[in-house]
Amino acid sequence: MPETDARLCKLVKLLTSHATVVVSGTKIADELDISRSEVWRLIQQLREIGVDIEGHPATGYQLKAIPDLLLPGMLLPLLRGTIFSSVSHYYKIGSTNDIAMEFAAEDAPEGSVFLAEQQTAGRGRGAREWHSEQAAGIYCSVILRPELPPSEILVLSLAVALAVYDSVQQVDARVIPDLKWPNDLLLGGKKFCGILAEMNAEITRVRYMVVGIGINVNQSHFPQDLQTSATSLRIETGTEWSRLDLCAALLKSLDREYAQIMQDSGARESILRRFQERSSMARGRQVEVADGRCMFAGITDGLDERGFLKVRTAQRVRTILSGTFKFAEKSKA
Ligand code: BTN
């Protein structure tokens, strides 16, 4: 599935800047330096992905609604001054993390962003599937090349969750997500964002990493098997969100968090503190852990200095390194 044709982005920009008038096929063809039949083909492509365009070759075309697409031409001007200076956009792709890992292996620069309107093989942690409905969510992967040992990457991934938290708050300060260690964001006890950080590393050095962020933004419903665990910003707030605004806010917040980690020796403490402040589950919650070899139950007791979740059991304080864990329902008392 190829990267979005750059002429499609130009066409949307052109129609958006003339949103109230009919633009003739000839004018579009001239401005984009393409043939009239090519204009028609691009218009059809936009209609296929749900952009509402009235008109036909004889009369010209008019955009009926400004589409909320994550096109590089719309996003890049909002990202000036950040490390995110290259955005690749796909209407449909298997997984943005897969394509980003491929490009990273081919030396793509730090700050390359990969966005899709739809994923057909979106991946979550633990080989789970990430439901990726067309144009409803944000499916975003970025390449980072942090000069850090692999042991510091957990803290970096906690900072990504903080960046998502901040971006949601910037768009609507009334929405207060709850962070679930290590990388989930919840609203009303259901998940609306997950983060999949993958890396290629030596023992002491990260060569590159890809941070994949999936945010359920404007979904109005989910498949049956996700209904009890997944939600979207739209379901929780009752309003449609601008994916473009949220995506820009997210990448700007991520740029800030990343710059702090790379430049400020006190950043790690700040990340651990802020993560715990924004997580109702990091302390004092009953949890059951299955870590592959054994199962244990206890009470969460904050994060250790590396970013691992501590659990106080009857015998001792343990850390959750991997595996699955389940929080008990909060008591109503
Ligand atoms: C999780 O909570 O399990 C992590 C979900 C991560 C989903 C995102 S969507 C963009 C990127 N591409 C993928 O295939 N996965 C991540």
Single pTM value for the model: 0.91
Give the residue carrying structure tokens 């394509």: 99
Task: Answer positive or negative: Cα dihedral of 251, 64, 221, 114.
Answer: negative
pLDDT in tens, 269-287: 999 999 999 999 999 999 9
Ligand 1 centroid from CA 96, angstroms: 8
Ligand 1 centroid from CA 61, angstroms: 37
pLDDT of 324 over the 70 cut:
yes
Q: Express the helix, strand and coil content of the chain in percent, nearest 5 each.
A: 35, 25, 40
Mean pLDDT (the chain) is: 92
Asked if the bond preceding 182 is cis, omega within 30° of 0, the reply is yes
What is the reported pLDDT for 333? 44
The reply to whether ligand 1 has any atom less than 6 angstroms from the CB of 222 is: no
Burial of 25 (0-12, 13-18, 19+ CB in 10 A): buried
CA distances for 240 relative to 137, 173, 178, 191, 292, angstroms:
11, 15, 21, 18, 41
Across the strands, what pairs with 184? 180
Bridging pattern class, strands 112-116 and 86-90: parallel
The reply to whether ligand 1 has any atom less than 6 angstroms from the CB of 27 is: no
Q: Looking at per-residue confidence, does 260 or 321 come out higher?
A: 260
pLDDT band at residue 320 under the 50/70/90 scheme? confident
Residue nearest to atom 3 of ligand 1 (CA): 124
The reply to whether ligand 1 has any atom less than 6 angstroms from the CB of 216 is: no
Task: Answer positive or negative: Cα dihedral of 61, 65, 70, 76.
Answer: positive
Bridging pattern class, strands 324-327 and 317-320: unpaired
**Which candidate, 226, 160, 155, 154, places its Cα nearest to that of 192?**
226
pLDDT in tens, 16-42: 888 778 999 999 999 999 999 999 999
The reply to whether ligand 1 has any atom less than 6 angstroms from the CB of 212 is: yes
The reply to whether ligand 1 has any atom less than 6 angstroms from the CB of 95 is: yes
Atom of ligand 1 nearest to the CA of 116: 10
Burial of 319 (0-12, 13-18, 19+ CB in 10 A): middle
